[in-house]
């Protein structure tokens, strides 16, 4: 009963931000009433789920989704996100690279943010002037951010050496130089960058592309606007050769006119974390057998296929192909979560959120990794698991098949997304985990291990030449 009570209040705490934002974005009494009704009914459903009982009433949400004015909520959020930045050219303002970002939250720094801030760091060190424009309200002060960030964090270096602007208040004028370049981090910030660039000098904006973002959305207005963004005139910076190949094959973005994209894009490879390859003696000395699962339950992490992963593991466990000698551990969740049962008295033990350094150390303690990815981007966690000496199960995609992934490292087993295919691959990975020599040999592969390698001086020089001519 105590665990259910704690879990009940934990879920309410997690959902509070979403409901508050919907309420604040609503403009009419009718919209606010719908949101209050939705919140109360969700509360009732939580009571039923956690305690087995509920209040004897229903307010129609979310069971009657036909009455939920979701598109009105979406409209308000799109209007808020795409309101143009209030930029104006001023004489005497030095030329800068303007990175348009949603916001900065030290508790929400994943691979995408690490990449863009590492890019900024190398630009600043090369003598470029950088301005960071946050189009959503800053969640904390600059002084508080410094206290929360470690001394070697790339975010800290950029905040100390770049101009930081709160662009949430669109009535406040942002003075820029006539030759400024604007960089978009995502499709929404890229639209803001495009509007600002068109107003200032008409130069193409820079699109920092880390995946094909349309996959995040259903076929609705948001997806249509996201798709349209790739048709705008821009200079593309891709984070992997796989993503370049996908865009080229689909004739997306700078490749929309076929191969007439010369000089319109650059590609870097996302650096792996500071993961130390294991020695043979270290692997031999490990007690037991452990499996690490990249288990992200949040809505925005749908491409990591948590549900499919759990179903595949359940099939392997319940069939007896994976026995109780295996320990299953999950990482990646933003909030502490409950364990996920797999059957036969086994479960995935979900670890609490850890620091970047703790994550790097944790990778050294496992034999098999599972990190699925249903998108063109090959994903970084599977590569880091492979570099840590694990045999890793991941999913293939139309632009990166099993041969491509195995060509990166033979520690990677890539299969089409499906319960049986993933389950069989997990069993195969467990079998291959006993080949310690192969795991050590395959942990050493050709992929950048530092951001200085990803954004080397040649890359930075070429980027600046492409931007300014």
Q: At CB < 8 A and 24+ separation, what contacts does 253-262 make? A: 253/207, 253/209, 256/230, 256/231
- At 124-150, the pLDDT tens digits run 999 999 999 998 766 566 777 777 776
Average pLDDT, the chain: 86
Is the model's pLDDT at 26 over the cut of 70?
no
**Is residue 263's pLDDT more than 50?**
yes
Q: Summarize the confidence of residues 7-24 as an average pLDDT.
A: 57
User: What is the percentage of the chain residues whose pLDDT exceeds 90?
Assistant: 59
pLDDT beyond 60 at 8: no
Q: What is the arithmetic mean of pLDDT over 179-186?
A: 96
Q: Rounded CA gap, 169 and 357, in Å? A: 36
Correct CATH for 87-271+453-468 of 3.30.450.40, 3.40.50.11090, 3.30.70.1350, 3.30.230.10 = 3.40.50.11090
pLDDT: which is higher, 467 or 408: 408
Across the range 426-430, mean pLDDT stands at 97
Q: Which of 8-17, 256-265, 289-298, 394-403 has the highest mean pLDDT?
A: 394-403
pLDDT in tens, 271-299: 998 888 888 998 888 878 999 999 988 87
User: Measuring CA to CA, which residue among 236, 122, 185, 243 is closest to residue 467?
Assistant: 236
Average pLDDT over residues 75-94: 90
Phi first, then psi, for residue 81 (nearest 5°) are -70, -35
In this prediction, residue 63 has a pLDDT band, given cuts at 50, 70 and 90, of very low
* pLDDT confidence of residue 61: 40
- Per CATH, the architecture of 280-442 is what? 3-Layer(aba) Sandwich (3.40)
Whether residue 35 is predicted with pLDDT greater than 60 in this model: the reply is: yes
Q: What is the pTM of this model?
A: 0.83
- Dihedral angle computed from the Cα positions of residues 114, 120, 123 and 128, in that order, rounded to the nearest 10 degrees: -170
Question: Residue 218: its pLDDT value, please?
Answer: 92
Supply the pLDDT for residue 290.
Answer: 94
Q: Which of 70-74, 103-107, 164-168, 438-442 has the lowest mean pLDDT?
A: 103-107
**Per-residue model confidence (pLDDT) at position 48:** 61
What pLDDT score was predicted for residue 4? Answer: 47
Q: How far apart are CA 149 and CA 232, in angstroms?
A: 35
Contacts 24+ apart (CB under 8 A), 404-410: 404/242, 405/378, 408/378, 408/383, 408/445, 408/446, 408/447, 409/383, 409/442, 409/443, 409/445, 410/438, 410/442
The stretch 190-203 carries a mean pLDDT of: 96
> How many Cα atoms sit within 13 Å of 46 on the Cβ side?
18
**Higher local confidence (pLDDT), 322 or 1:** 322
Report percent pLDDT > 70 for the chain.
82
């Amino acid at each position: 009963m105590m665990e259910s009570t704690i879990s009940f209040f934990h879920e309410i705490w997690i959902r509070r931000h979403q409901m508050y934002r919907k309420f604040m974005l609503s403009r009419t009494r009718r919209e606010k009433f719908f949101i209050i009704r939705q919140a109360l009914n969700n509360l009732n459903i939580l009571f039923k789920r956690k305690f087995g009982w509920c209040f004897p009433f229903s307010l129609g949400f979310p069971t009657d989704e036909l009455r939920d004015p979701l598109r009105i909520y979406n409209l308000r959020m799109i209007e808020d996100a795409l309101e143009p930045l209030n930029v104006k050219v001023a004489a005497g303002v030095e030329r800068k690279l303007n990175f348009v970002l949603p916001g900065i939250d030290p508790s929400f720094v994943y691979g995408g943010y690490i990449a863009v801030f590492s890019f900024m760091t190398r630009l600043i060190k090369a003598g470029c002037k950088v301005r960071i424009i946050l189009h959503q309200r800053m969640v904390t002060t600059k002084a508080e951010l410094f206290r929360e960030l470690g001394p070697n964090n790339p975010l800290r270096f950029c905040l100390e050496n770049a101009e930081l602007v709160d662009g949430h208040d669109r009535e406040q004028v942002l003075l820029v130089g006539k030759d400024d370049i604007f960089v978009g981090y995502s499709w929404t910030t890229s639209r803001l960058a495009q509007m600002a660039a068109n107003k200032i000098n008409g130069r193409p904006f820079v699109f920092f592309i880390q995946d094909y973002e349309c996959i995040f959305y259903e076929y609705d207005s948001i997806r249509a606007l996201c798709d349209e963004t790739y048709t705008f005139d821009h200079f593309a910076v891709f984070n992997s050769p796989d993503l370049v190949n996908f865009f080229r094959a689909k004739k997306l973005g700078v490749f929309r006119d076929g191969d007439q994209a010369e000089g319109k894009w650059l590609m870097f490879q996302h650096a792996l974390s500071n993961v130390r390859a294991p020695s043979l003696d270290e692997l031999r000395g490990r007690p037991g057998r452990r499996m690490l699962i990249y288990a992200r339950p949040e809505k925005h992490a749908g491409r990591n296929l948590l549900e499919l992963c759990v179903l595949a593991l359940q099939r392997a466990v319940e069939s007896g192909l994976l026995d109780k000698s295996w320990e299953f551990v999950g990482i990646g969740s933003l909030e502490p979560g409950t364990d996920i049962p797999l059957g036969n008295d086994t479960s995935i033990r979900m670890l609490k959120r850890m620091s970047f350094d703790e994550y790097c150390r944790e990778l050294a303690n496992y034999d098999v990794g599972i990190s699925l990815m249903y998108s063109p981007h090959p994903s970084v966690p599977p590569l880091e698991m492979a570099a840590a000496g694990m045999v890793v199960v991941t999913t293939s995609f139309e632009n990166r098949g099993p041969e491509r992934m195995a060509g990166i490292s033979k520690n990677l087993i890539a299969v089409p997304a499906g319960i049986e295919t993933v389950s069989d691959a997990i069993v195969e990975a467990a079998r291959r985990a006993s080949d310690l020599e192969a795991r050590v040999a395959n942990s050493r592969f050709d992929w950048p291990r530092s951001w200085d390698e990803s954004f080397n001086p040649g890359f930075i020089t070429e980027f600046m030449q492409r931007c300014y001519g």
